[in-house]
Each structure stands twice: as structure tokens, then as C-alpha cells.
Structure 1
């Protein structure tokens, strides 16, 4: 390979490129996406429910399915009273209600009758978008096409992205995809390729994923790009970038104001804090094993473990062994004109090694994928400027030491995995030898094919060695099967069960459902997942964020509720109790209370229903003495009730009193009351009256106004940007040489 350095013309800012004609970037972008789909399919086939573990089945996938079904029916709720603690979707902020691409994903998911298959389709599609965005980002910084394809294809299968984000934390994956495209847009804007409105749109898409790490990533990318512009004394683009950043920041009000509005009633009342409990905090030793597919980092994680069970800090099999071959001097000359890469990557490196909790952000390992994106971008540029050919034996020796040292670290961390580490060593060593041979014999493009093939092999190896599911306890995914298990249910359902006592039969069959698994099913369940929870109900019923109850929950159901003539079970409108036998053996033995009957019993559970199910009166669930109330209209967010009262009293609703409710009596606004259990109660006067209540997420109107105003200003800014560009006649030159690699 011959390396030729050349200055670019002052009026352009073209990427580094080869002299021969190659495949268009648009085609290569689709190619990278298709390649990542293959990697995703390998993971889905090799693992057991690979993309359906953790928060995917407990929170996101069933709820996304429900969202898609509702959207197809013409409904889009910011809050669903029937979902109880998990129903304040705007307040949760994490469910991306305003992101058009994710809304399309919800609709697509709703056509799947099997949630695991649907999850695989959606997650693989998101990984494919990530690969495409990484490729375009590398090209925007000047990386040649072949290394951009090969290294962008590795971004979606770095350890944390594949084994955590795609498998179980889709909000984090969506944020990573959004930040990658935002970084691309910022680069294009600062080099005069795209107007600010494009950056604004990508910023909006990143912010509306609802994940706070998207906002952090946006700030870091903007900071890096801004400093690069200042160093180059490119004042006009710097000013435009600041304005764009402010406008993108304004859209965050739409996502996070509702969260702040409901915060006083939730269990998460303290958002700020700096703490280090070492949970999910990687160190430099973990990063040293980043090219060893079998390395399991020694970080504190769930269950008190101090060694990971997944390769969460894995980067790429070729990344560290390539370092001795990089022409660092030539690469530095390129990076000097692209300092934003070093700044952004450097900041992410610091945050990855930071404390476990820093304000809204906890578990620094969540930022490792952003760090790895920057590292692979730098490597793509390093390959573009050309691989060093001097002192080959010394460089080969250095690569061999890196591979061997990585294997040693893996063995030291988990000695019981010796066979897996041996396979990992042989696989990586063989691939490095093949890469060196092909590179020397046929050049860069052929060598990148080895990287692509090697990434396929390593992905298959890792997902076989570390499948994300387990063969015994598999979360149910067949909606028809789960629906069949609810055939005896009537009305609103409460499940009384401790998840730690639920065995494989209870979970595999869908007889017990935790989290949001009941969301797409045709009944109302109080056991729903919530990232924020409603503190009063959580304490009154002794129920946690996944719908898991404590042994005393059953007794608490029969306690009276103020301003009603019944107990908590009545006030919640419960008509069916699903009781896990191992969790409450004494309760099961005593049998159902008066007014209830048993309709189902097996080794796992009993099902009790009321002799006369509660239904037909909207969400009115109780009244005080002398008051009758008839619901004449009700939806998830509104209700009208005709009241006849012999004396002043209260009407209680089977609705949590989320901040945002507006209540009127005969058209006059009144203040509602929150029961100690968290239920909404409305004071009514003597005589006949009409109670009307509506819900609007607090801060949502302000958020929409801020977003709309920001969008209009972004359009105006783009017009100014375009006119300024025309007056200038040409873009200012980048103050450094480009490097052209010729094979």
C-alpha cells in the first residue's frame, strides 16, 4: 500500500477517499444495515430468547405491543388509568411517545402474536440503523469506504450494545442510535453539508427516545464540535451550532417536564446525587480485555456478584491487536483537524470510569458503547491513512502479546471458563493471522472482508457461549397462550405473588405474569411495571415496580378506605384475585372470603372471582354515605358522573390521583382529594350535580409549545444559514491536510 498525502481544495471538505471508483455510499449504507441484520439473526438463533430478557419482556415489548394496537385503533394515551402505577406514560418519560420512528416500531410489533419474535425483529432493525449511522458518521469524518463498512459493522455487536441494550434495555439502544445520527448531523452541519434543521430533527429524534443518556450524548457531541470550530476559528458555524444546540435542548421540555410534574407523588423523589457503590463501574483492566471475546469483566452487578456473566465490556476482536500497526503520526495529522473526535471520545472515556451515580445518570457502563463508537471511528481513520509496514516482526510480536494478555485477563477473571477462553484465543489468533496475511497479500479492501467475516464468527461464538436466556425459566411470549391462561378472569385483576418464589412452571406457562406482560392481554391488571411508581398505592398495597406483592398484601385488601363504604379491594375495583400458592399458602388454605368464589386451582395458583363482578359504572368505585354516582361517560383520561347526594360527601374513582387531573362540579372547578391509598376522590355538594374530570400531563402543553417554537426557529435559522452560504460562495477550508490512501 502506498500512502500519498495531499491538501484538499480550499472550497471543499470532501472525505478521505481512494482514487478508484467505488460503490456509492448509499448502497454501502444499505449493505452495512443488511450485514448487521445477519449478525442480529445469528444472535437470535444462537441465544434462547436473546432479545427478550430483562426489561424487554418485563417493561418495554408487551407495552410497545399494546401501544401499537392502540395506535391502530386510533388511540394514543398519555396516561391510562387502567394501567395503574404503570399507566402514566408521559410521566415515565421512557416510552418515547413522541418519537415517530419508535411509534412505527410499536405498530409493526403489534402485528406479532409472539412477543419474542416481535422483539427480535424490532431490536435487529434498531441495530441495523445503528450500523448504518456509524458508517455514515465514519464517512463524514473522512474514513475510506472499506474500513468504514468493516468497523461500522462491528459497532452494533460490541458487548454492552448487543448483550444489554438490544437484549434487554431498548430505550438505551434507541438513545444510542439517536445520538449516532445526531453526531453525523452535527458533523455535516459544521462542514457545510446539511442545514441546521436536519441537525434539529435528528436531535429531536434522539431526545424523544426518552432516555436521559441521549441528552447527555447530545451535550457531549455539541461540546466537542463547538471546541473544534473554535480551534479552527470558524466563528459563523460555531454560532450556528450554539443556536442549534439551544433549539434541540428546548425539545427536552416535551419529554421531561411531565416527569418533573408527577415527581412529588412517585417513589423517585430525589433525582440528584453523586454516589459510588461500584455497581456496573468498569475499570481500566476491563477495557484491557476489550478485544477478548470471552473476557467477563470484574464489576459489581446484580445479586451481589463481582464478576459479570456476559462480555459487557467487549469492543471488537481486532481493535487492540491493530494498535501496533497504526501510523500514529499520520493519524495525528488527520485528527488535529478533527479534534471533536478526540474530545467526544475522551469525555466518554472519563465518564465510563466515573462514579456509579452522577445526578440522573447511574451505572457508567451504559456509556461504554459511546466510547467504543469513538474508538472505532478513530481506528477507521487509522486504517484509512494506511497500516505501517516497517518492523513487521516487532509489530506482529506486539499484536501477539495483546491477544495473549487478553486471554490471560479472561482466565484470571473466570478460571472456570478455561475451555471457552481457549476457544476464544484460538479464534482470535487465527483471525489475526488471516487478517495480516490477506492485508499483506491483497491490500486493505480484502483485509476488511476478513474483519467482516471475523465479526460474524465472533458474534456466533459469543452468543452461543453466553446466551441471554436460560433453558429452564423462559418468560412467556405467546399471546394466545397467555390469553388462554386468563380465561377464567373477570373484570380488574390483582395477582398476589412473590417473584422470587415463582418457579419455571409458573413463569413458562404464563400462569403468573409480572411487569407489563399483561399489557397486551384483554383484561385490566393492577400488576403493571412502573419506573416511577405511585408511592401511596405502592405502600398501601405493598406492591413493587414490577407488580410483585408482599405476604401482607392480601390482608391490606380488606382494610376500609375513607369516604367509601367498602374496602381497598372495592375501591380498586378488583373482581379477580390470582393467588400464587407458594407465596400465600395459608390464604389459599383458608379459601375465598365471603362474596368470592374459587373458579380455578392447580399446583401454581388459585383464581377467585366475586360472586357479582364490579362493572358497568365507569371508574366510579365508591361513595360516601347518602351519595349515589352514575358514570355516563368515561375514557382513560376523562369521565363524567351524575351525582345525587342526600348530603355533601365524596365520590371515589378507581384512578390514581396523578398530578394533572382537572375536576369540575357543575362546571365550577374544584380541588380533588387524594386518599391515603392514592385514589382520586371528589367532594360533591348536597343535591344533584355533574362531576367532570379530565387529565392532561403536567408540563406537556409547555413542552409542545417549546418544541413547536424551536422547530420554527430552526427553519428560520436554516434559511439564514443557506443565505450566508450563498453569499460566501464557498465553504471555508479545513485547516489541515487530508490523507489519501491508494491500494
Structure 2
């Protein structure tokens, strides 16, 4: 494509250094050394935000959902347990059904083990995020090269695209599954196109596509689909139907690999709150506008996007792309866009689809908040800009182009000030930095040539990144409340806890010091105490329990929850607090001012009290072993043995039988057997709070309650089958290539196939 760009440009370079020097075919090992170099440079560059703000990569869902759970999952993996289901995680413990915790993705499982060795979870999160940002930089470089971009533009965009506002401030800082999905979609795109050009065995894109699908992020599946559509456009333009058929087979196999993640989710939706989100609507929440994209080179531009808590303006540069992209537009040669090659048509198709989704409705089925797709749009634009840059910069009408660049930079600065004038000096500084860097880069290009020009742009990307993360957002990543960082520190300050912990608290009034030592913890931060906690984080929830405790997705409760705790669970005589086997009750003073100073109920005592919360602890352990929390009158529980997937209870019941209540949520997948399956029948049902109830037969028996994740086994079988089929496709492709090589004269006699012509158009 780079040759096409030069041929179709309206003007040719006038000096040797005005355009990239023609690149000889790079040996494969040397090209991969450059890829590794890009990754190492990215590690250094994306460590800058961490050096400036130790909590930069530990914001939002990272501390409240992911990193503490990764730490726990890693510990379980090191002990030899595959953490598919954990009843002690309550509505957040069905890890396989959650999907986003990726219990089948080998790369993420390895990262969980790494995180489990850290005490400082902010550092652990930074290590994982920088790792994936480096992988993204490497993938973008390879993808740009795949579309025949020169080495310098590919390095430049490889390092610039991961520094985009959404990727850095949202995905890496607080939504890691977004970043991981983008990484594997990028690598899949590169591998799938190489396969489409007969330059790569199809098993490689299958593996990369399966890694994307098993992140558990539905946007990864959407990204894979759009990429396949774009490659289809390219192959149709070449009329290469044979290779298109192979790509279709690859797409089906990659899509089927996601069954192991999405089947368990589909099978539990009936008991979750997630089912209510499937709709097509537009409330304008997190919907960017075309104007935001046009201002995407202004580093401190904070878009006017509807946000949390009713805000109508961002505090993060979420639509930022690359500081040099728009200022360099007047200098690019757009000749190739007048007569696009098939490769360019496919690239444009992918970018246009993502653009339509980015500015589309806020909710389309289970996909919501379109801004989450802006980084996929920027991925396509990064490849397009890299290919355009590879044609060299225009050299005519220099003054007019320079004036246009100044106007574009100034316009970005003005829009930044117009939306958030209270930080006008920050915007002015950013505008000045961009002007100086762009001007300097253009002067360097004019005097010294292409590679020094690229070096200035790469250095400028690091400088802009440092300036941006040092000054934006207005409330820095540490925010008004600092999340707990040290596992050991939290455990040292929460020695009052015993058994199962339940916290009744709201989050708005919590101060930094309330978090740091673990006085009050929300979401999966509660894992840091080292005790089972009912309050957890979940993307799917469990309707019955969440309603019973008026608890949201990260464990925040209402004041009414206290009264509900002492009411009996429907169908039993036991209060909810006992049904949950709660032994430690943390009561926030600001939420329950009339309760915290009163005498606790019989059987409880005050273990700690301060200006933030009061802690009640049960004076005696629960009366039943295992996770049994109640037995109907006349039923005696003699022994119980519990583990995450099953529980065995020995009991004695009267002539009319009875019931056993378990401190387990009734996720789909529970079965019960009496005396190893040889005894009378027993049934599993659900209590009013969503807990498991077993109706047991009379007499003395051993009842075994067992959980098998619905959809997981068949998903694993599907994954195995499609892996075998992908291997077969790879073998057949290799054999086909050998046959083609044995008949070179036939291909030459006919002028080569369409697929061969596609293959000849790329860089190896």
C-alpha cells in the first residue's frame, strides 16, 4: 500500500529525506527484535503515569473489583484449586458465570498468580496494566507493518495509540478487561490478515482470537466480528473466494471458542440483574460526539459527555487520540484515498463500522456506553495514519500548510478552554507544548530527514503523556478517597473480624482514612480482610439476595438493611443474619446513627467502635457445621463437610422429613443426592433470600449437595473440539501450500491466483 500511496500522491517528494527511505525486506528475526524494542519502550513510557501517581493504575474497578480478586484467585491457583465457583463470594462468587474474571484464559490465570505474590496491590495492578499496554504497542506496530506502513510510522503509532485517553485513563486505570480485549483483538487482526495473505498458519489467529474471546469481555467478541467483516471486504475486492472460505471457517472456530465463557453466563441470567439490561435505547450516557473526535489531538480536552452522578462533562481526556494526528493532517498525502486498494477498503470498512458504533445509541442489547468502542476506532485510524505517513510528508505550499497546522492546534486549545475554562492555564500549556513539538518535528524533518522526525514525534508522545498525566484529571487518580493498597496493613487493622463479615454502609461520605486501613471496604476490597464477606463486587449480581439486603453491585446498602437482617427468612424460623451465618457485623455510623450506639442483641457484643463505624461480633460460633445455617424442627445435623463445589451433611430427620438451609446462593447448577444416590429422593429449592434449601427425607442419611457450573463442561468440550478442528485446518493449509510450491510453473503460466496477488502486496 505504501507504494500505492507514493504513486497516487498529487506531488512527489523533492528531496531524499522528504519521504521514508525505501525499506529492504527485513529478516524476520530482525523485525521481531524491533517488535520487542517497541514493547520495552512502551514499558518505560507507560511507567511514567505510575511514577507520577502511584495509584494511577489502581482506580475504580481495579481496586473495587479486579485486583483484590486476582490476588485471591492467584492464591487459590497456587494451592492447586481452579477457582470456578466460590460460595464464600456470595453474589460475586460465581467466577465462571461472571465471565470478566476469565478463569479459562491462560494469560490472565498466569497474571493472577503473579499478583498473588504482591502485598502492594497498586503496584501489582500497575505491573499487569503496563504489561498489556506494552503488548498493545507491539500489536499496533505489527498491524501497521501488516498494512505496509514504514517502520518509523509503525513505531510512532505503536507507541502513541495505547496512550489514547480512553485506553489509558479508563481501560488501563480502572477497566482492565477493556484493555485486554483490545490487546487480543489487535493481535488477532494482525494474524488473521496475515493468514488471509497466505503468510501465516491459521492456528496462530485462532489462538489469538480464542484469547480475545476468553477474556469474558463481549467487546472482544464484537471486535473480532468487525475485523472479520473488514477482511471479508478486502478478500471480496480481490475475488479470492477460496481464502474467504478459510477465513469464514477461522471465524466460526474463534467464535465457538467463546462458548466456554458465555454459556455459563447465559445459564445464570435468570437469577441475575443482568437480564434487565438487554435493550436498544439512548439516554446519551457515555456517548461521544463527532466534535470530540475532531478535537482528539488536544491532550487536555475534556469532552462534554454525559457521565456518572448526572455530570454532563468529563474529568478525564477520554476522547484523546494522539497529539500529532490532527496537526499533521495538512502534511499528509491523501492520494491513495481517491483510488483505495482492497487492503485500504477493508481498513476503512473496519474504521467506519466502529465510528458508527461510537456515535450510536447508548444501549444496543448488552452493549452499552459507546465510548468503550472509541479505542477500537482509534486502532483503525492509527493504522490509516501510519500508512499515510509512509508516503512521506507533502513539501509544497509550506507556509499554507504550516498556517493550517497552527489553526488546528489553536482550535483544539480553544475547544478545551471553552468546555472547561476553570483550568485554562493547563489547556494553554498543553497547546503550547503541542505547537512547539509539531513545529520542531517539521523543522527536523525538513533539515535532517525522516528518522530524526520520527524520533521527535516519539519523544513528543512521552512528553505529552507526562504533561497530561501530571495535570489531568482535575481530581487526580488518587482522588478524594484513597483505596486500600496493602493486604497486610488491612489485615493488621481488621483483627476484630471473625467468621463471615457483613458491612452495612454507603460510600458517598467515606473518607480516605476510612478506606486505607480497612475500616470500611467496598466491592472486592473486602477480600483484603482475609475473611468471608457478603459484600462483594459483581457484574451480574443475584437478584433475590441483593433485594433482600437492598445491596447494589459493589456491596453498598441502604439503612433499611439493618431491620431486614432480624426478620425471618421466608419458609424458616431463622432471621436473615443467622441464615447468612454472619459473625461480624460492621455498622457505619453515618448510615445508622440511631443503631450504632445501642446495645447489640443477645448473643452479640461490641468488638470495636469509633467515629466511623461500630463492629458487632457474635459471642458464640454458629450452631451448625459446614455451611448449614438452619434445620427445621426435629432435624438434627450430626456432621458436615464443606468445600466450594460440594457439601456433605449427615443428619437425622423425623418421620415427615424436614429442611436444611445452607449459606449458599441457589445458583443454577446445584443437585442433591442421598446416601450416594442410593437413598430416597431429596430436592433443591430456593428460599426467599435466594439461599439453597434442601428438602430431606426422614431417617438418618448422608445428603450430598453438589454444584456443577452449567454450560462450563459443554463449553470446555466445544473449546477442545474447535482446537482440534483449528489444528486440522492448519495442517490442511500447510499441505495445500506445499502442493502450490511444487507447481510453480502452473501458477506463473496463469499469472498467479488472486490469493497469491494478495500475498504479494504485503511486507513479510
Residue of 658, 678, 688 corresponding to 1:649:
658
Alignment of 1:111 with 2:117, yes or no, is yes
Match of 2:737 in 1: 725
1:391-410 equivalences under 5 Å are: 391-410=397-416
Asked whether the equivalents of residues 238 and 342 of structure 2 are also in contact (C-alpha less than 8 Å), the reply is no
Partners of 1:352 and 1:652 in 2: CA distance: 48
Partners of 1:577 and 1:268 in 2: CA distance: 28
Q: CA RMSD in A?
A: 2.1
- Distance apart, 1:608 and its partner CA: 1.0
Residues 650/21 of structure 1: CA separation in 2 closer, same or farther (3 Å cut): closer
1:78-97 equivalences under 5 Å are: 78-97=84-103
Residues 736/662 of structure 1: CA separation in 2 closer, same or farther (3 Å cut): closer
1:45-64 equivalences under 5 Å are: 45-47=51-53, 49-64=55-70
- Distance apart, 1:471 and its partner CA: 5.4
- Distance apart, 1:421 and its partner CA: 0.9
Alignment of 1:209 with 2:245, yes or no, is no
- Where in structure 2 are there 5+ consecutive unaligned residues? 8-19, 745-752
Partners of 2:504 and 2:722 in 1: CA distance: 47
Residue of 156, 159, 179 corresponding to 1:153:
159
C-alpha distance after superposition, 1:331-378 (max 9, x if no partner): 655644432211111111111111111111101110110111111111
Alignment of 1:498 with 2:506, yes or no, is yes
Match of 2:610 in 1: 602
Report the 3-state secondary structure (helix = DSSP H, G, I; strand = E; otherwise coil) of the residue aligned with 2:503: strand
- Distance apart, 1:542 and its partner CA: 1.6
Asked whether the equivalents of residues 273 and 543 of structure 2 are also in contact (C-alpha less than 8 Å), the reply is yes
Partners of 1:616 and 1:296 in 2: CA distance: 56
Between 49-58 and 694-703, the greater mean CA deviation after superposition = 694-703
Partners of 1:255 and 1:5 in 2: CA distance: 43
Asked whether the equivalents of residues 16 and 738 of structure 1 are also in contact (C-alpha less than 8 Å), the reply is no
Residue of 671, 676, 682 corresponding to 2:694:
682
Match of 2:532 in 1: 524
Asked whether the equivalents of residues 43 and 131 of structure 2 are also in contact (C-alpha less than 8 Å), the reply is yes
Residues 610/230 of structure 1: CA separation in 2 closer, same or farther (3 Å cut): same
Match of 1:75 in 2: 81
Match of 2:466 in 1: 460
Partners of 1:713 and 1:195 in 2: CA distance: 13
- Distance apart, 1:583 and its partner CA: 1.2
Alignment of 1:358 with 2:364, yes or no, is yes
Partners of 1:406 and 1:615 in 2: CA distance: 67
TM-score by length of 2: 0.93
Partners of 2:535 and 2:439 in 1: CA distance: 55
C-alpha distance after superposition, 1:551-587 (max 9, x if no partner): 0111111111245442111110011111111111111
Alignment of 1:734 with 2:743, yes or no, is no
Alignment of 1:224 with 2:230, yes or no, is yes
Residues 308/271 of structure 1: CA separation in 2 closer, same or farther (3 Å cut): closer
Report the 3-state secondary structure (helix = DSSP H, G, I; strand = E; otherwise coil) of the residue aligned with 1:270: helix
C-alpha distance after superposition, 1:262-316 (max 9, x if no partner): 1111112234211111111011110111001011111101111111111100010
Asked whether the equivalents of residues 297 and 321 of structure 2 are also in contact (C-alpha less than 8 Å), the reply is yes
Residue of 589, 604, 612 corresponding to 2:597:
589
- Distance apart, 1:519 and its partner CA: 2.0
TM-score by length of 1: 0.95
Residues 341/567 of structure 1: CA separation in 2 closer, same or farther (3 Å cut): same
Between 395-404 and 720-729, the greater mean CA deviation after superposition = 720-729
C-alpha distance after superposition, 1:692-714 (max 9, x if no partner): 01111111111111111111111
Report the 3-state secondary structure (helix = DSSP H, G, I; strand = E; otherwise coil) of the residue aligned with 1:319: coil
- Bigger RCO of structures 1 and 2 (CA < 8 A, at least 6 apart): 1
Between 190-199 and 205-214, the greater mean CA deviation after superposition = 190-199
Residues 6/580 of structure 1: CA separation in 2 closer, same or farther (3 Å cut): closer
C-alpha distance after superposition, 1:618-662 (max 9, x if no partner): 111110000012343210110111110124110111000000111
Asked whether the equivalents of residues 536 and 678 of structure 1 are also in contact (C-alpha less than 8 Å), the reply is yes
Match of 2:16 in 1: none
Partners of 1:90 and 1:5 in 2: CA distance: 48
Residues 592/30 of structure 1: CA separation in 2 closer, same or farther (3 Å cut): same
Alignment of 1:371 with 2:377, yes or no, is yes
Match of 2:10 in 1: none
Partners of 2:258 and 2:22 in 1: CA distance: 38
- Where in structure 1 are there 5+ consecutive unaligned residues? 8-14
Report the 3-state secondary structure (helix = DSSP H, G, I; strand = E; otherwise coil) of the residue aligned with 2:143: helix
Partners of 1:586 and 1:712 in 2: CA distance: 64
Asked whether the equivalents of residues 185 and 199 of structure 1 are also in contact (C-alpha less than 8 Å), the reply is yes
Residues 712/635 of structure 1: CA separation in 2 closer, same or farther (3 Å cut): same
Asked whether the equivalents of residues 557 and 568 of structure 1 are also in contact (C-alpha less than 8 Å), the reply is yes
Match of 1:479 in 2: 487
Asked whether the equivalents of residues 640 and 690 of structure 1 are also in contact (C-alpha less than 8 Å), the reply is yes
- Distance apart, 1:735 and its partner CA: 6.1
Report the 3-state secondary structure (helix = DSSP H, G, I; strand = E; otherwise coil) of the residue aligned with 2:601: coil
